[in-house]
A and B are shown apart, each in its own frame.
Chain A
Amino acid sequence: MNANHPSLIHYIYRGFLEVSDLKIGNRIFKSRLFVGTGKFASVSEMIKAIDASGSEFVTVALRRMDFDSNDDEFIDNIDPERILLVPNTSGARDADEACNLARLACAAGAKKWIKLELTPEPRHLLPDPIETLIAAERLVKEGFNVLPYINADPILAKRLEDVGCVAVMPLGSPIGTNKGVEAKEMIKIIIENSNVPVVVDAGLGMPSHAAFAMELGADACLVNTAIATAKDPVKIANAFKLAVECGRDAYLYSKVSTFDTAQASSPRKGFIENLGK
């Protein structure tokens, strides 16, 4: 393994770990596929899809979490040792609302993990960068492990890392659009510069999109709509699982360059072979 191999660089910069494992905060994840729980037809379908995905990181909208109920079919069927259930603040319009939601969730017994989704504009559900940064800083100081959902903005990603976020979650394309990694160039820059895990979130409509994100060097992908609204959510969840694994392997173990023209075997081969050593 040479010193320029990307896996070695990540090994040095992101902690002393097996390159196949993902560490966020102080928790280690074997699976690099994260799953959202919106839009499913039923709780039982959701649970089967999560199982098929192999995911260990599952997000739930706080607006749908029922803290008053002792009987929650979803929570009762999730193994808390294997799966980290992370509330998200979807629908929060500003930092005050997001922080309030996070604190209420914690008071009701949720662990101090929060996916910050500050999406004041309901049409495209794009994240508000300013309020996200404000909320992130507040919640990190209160001891939360904060994962902010953001536009693919490399500067914002660094600012969030600086205030103590345990990961950043740039969107591939807007939520629910299934358009893939349209923000490719910005995500590449984020990945290059980040000292925390980068989870590509939103817009991953096909397993190939997730594989592509992983090939770029993303540490994980989060998928919701594409699984929940599929004809067969269980099969598609499994397909995404395989795609994420393939994309990760491709990133770690394949290093190919692209050319604009066909390449015959090198015209320099004979010359090089005959060089004295």
Chain B
Amino acid sequence: MKSFEYLTNSFWTRLKDGNIASLNNYKNVENVLFNEEYNISDLLTLLSITEDKHLDILLQKSEAITRQRFGKKISIYAPLYISNYCNNQCVYCGFNKTVKTERINLSIEQIVQEAKYLRNKGIRQLLIVSGEAVNSIDEYVKVASSLNHDFDFLAYEIEPLKISEYALLYNSGLDGVTIYQETYNEKLYSDYHPKGNKRDYRYRIETPERIAQANIPNITIGALLGLSDYKEEMLFLAGHLDYLIKKYWNINFAISFPRINTNNINFSAKYPVSDFDFVKIIASFRILFPDTPIYLSTRESPSLRDHMINYGVTNISAGSKTDPGGYALFKDKLEQFSTSDKRGIEEIIDYMKKNNLRPVLKDWDKGYRIKR
């Protein structure tokens, strides 16, 4: 069975009557909050928290679990955007093909130059991001081969590929892939992705499995908060993560919670997620998945990030630019989204050290890369 069948049949059946609304008989929040162990059926109750005192308890538990499992280490990475061309028309995205603006596809030399800038700033863990269906697999292989000796951890956030293509990238030195489902709501998914390869909901939802089958050791998944009702979205995300962890038990799965940020395009989220609910989501996932790294990008404000690295978040980006060439080459090109936390890498590291946290720039090693 693959993700699609699991989430639409088995998981859905287990949710009783296949109707999310029928699960509104939440167990008493305080009963669940003081449990010793948790499972996915507790998630909706935790996400139903509205009172500050309950959120406080949730955050205390989340902090204790994070400390026990991860200590005070926070892993730092940076994204490197290599192209803002895209063949999709995702209505919420700055790279939407219909957005009329200057497009850039960085050459290998330019990519290396951008990477060098980040390496000189101390970054050892790099996430390469590109608009979808722009570069050929050979070009992605070339990028990985050019960068992997300078970075201890190299990941991609690009379009879904075939198993054989992921396997090729793994042998070129790729350590991880990030792939967001955007939304698990199939009807809304279709509305948000009117044209382009990304329309294929099933192909996308099964992408983490193809990555795992290609033996790439690190996979980050998530959904874009704001595209559908967050409780339903998070329930399916939790189900998907649980399924993947159990089926691909020797893969390091991580989770990220991107929240819609459309300051640079004309789109308004129909299901906005407040800061209160956002914090609740991260803390709930921490106690449900105590061993799963949680990522938080610079979409979020400095204040929120500074707090959440104590309450569940273990990996953050720093000094990010979301426009190709934005670090060292060009200024003011098309960004995928605007960042909120504009602090530089040194400033973030300094903040962590002053607040009794340990910023870790190297948390992987080239020694894990074995050609298979």
Contacts and interface: CB of A to CB of B under 8 A. Distances in A.
Interface of A: 38-43, 62-66, 91-93, 96-97, 100-101, 104-105, 120-125, 176, 178, 225, 228-229
Given A122-B252, A122-B291, A123-B245, A63 B71 contact: no
Contacts of B253: 122
Contacts of B368: 63, 91-93, 97, 100-101
A64 B357 CA distance: 16
Contacts of B67: 39, 229
Interface string B60-99: 0000000111111100000000000000000000000000
Contact of A62 (B249, B358, B367, B370): B367
B370 A96 contact: yes
B250 A41 contact: no
B249 A121 contact: yes
Interface of B: 67-73, 152, 217, 245, 249-253, 291, 353, 356-358, 360, 362-368, 370
A40 B245 contact: no
B362 A39 contact: no
Contacts of A104: 365-367
A73 B364 CA distance: 19
Contact of A42 (B217, B249, B356): B356
Residue among B67, B249, B252, B368 facing the most chain A CB atoms (10 A cut-off): B368
Nearest to B372: A96
Contact of B250 (A42, A65, A120): A120
Given A63-B152, A63-B368, 5 more contacts: A42-B356, A91-B368, A120-B249, A124-B291, A125-B291
Contacts of B356: 41-42
A97 B291 contact: no
A40 B367 contact: no
B68 A176 contact: yes
Contact of B370 (A40, A63, A91, A100): A100
A40 B71 contact: yes
* Interface pairs A-B: 10 shortest CB-CB: A39-B71, A101-B367, A120-B250, A41-B72, A104-B367, A123-B291, A63-B365, A122-B252, A96-B370, A100-B367
Nearest to B359: A42
Contacts of A63: 152, 362-365, 368
B353 A64 contact: no
Nearest to A125: B291
A120 B367 CA distance: 15
23 contacts: A39-B67, A39-B70, A39-B73, A40-B72, A63-B364, A63-B365, A63-B368, A64-B360, A91-B252, A92-B368, A97-B368, A97-B370, A100-B367, A100-B370, A101-B365, A101-B368, A104-B366, A105-B367, A120-B249, A121-B249, A122-B250, A123-B249, A123-B291
B71 A225 contact: yes
Contacts of A120: 249-250
B358 A41 contact: yes
Contacts of A43: 358
Contacts of A62: 365, 367
Contacts of A100: 367-368, 370
Nearest to A43: B358
B250 A176 contact: no
Contacts of B357: 41
Nearest to B360: A64
Contact of A228 (B71, B217, B249): B71
A100 to B, nearest CB: 5
B63 to A, nearest CB: 11
B250 A97 contact: no
Residue among A39, A97, A122 facing the most chain B CB atoms (10 A cut-off): A122
B353 A93 contact: no
A127 to B, nearest CB: 12
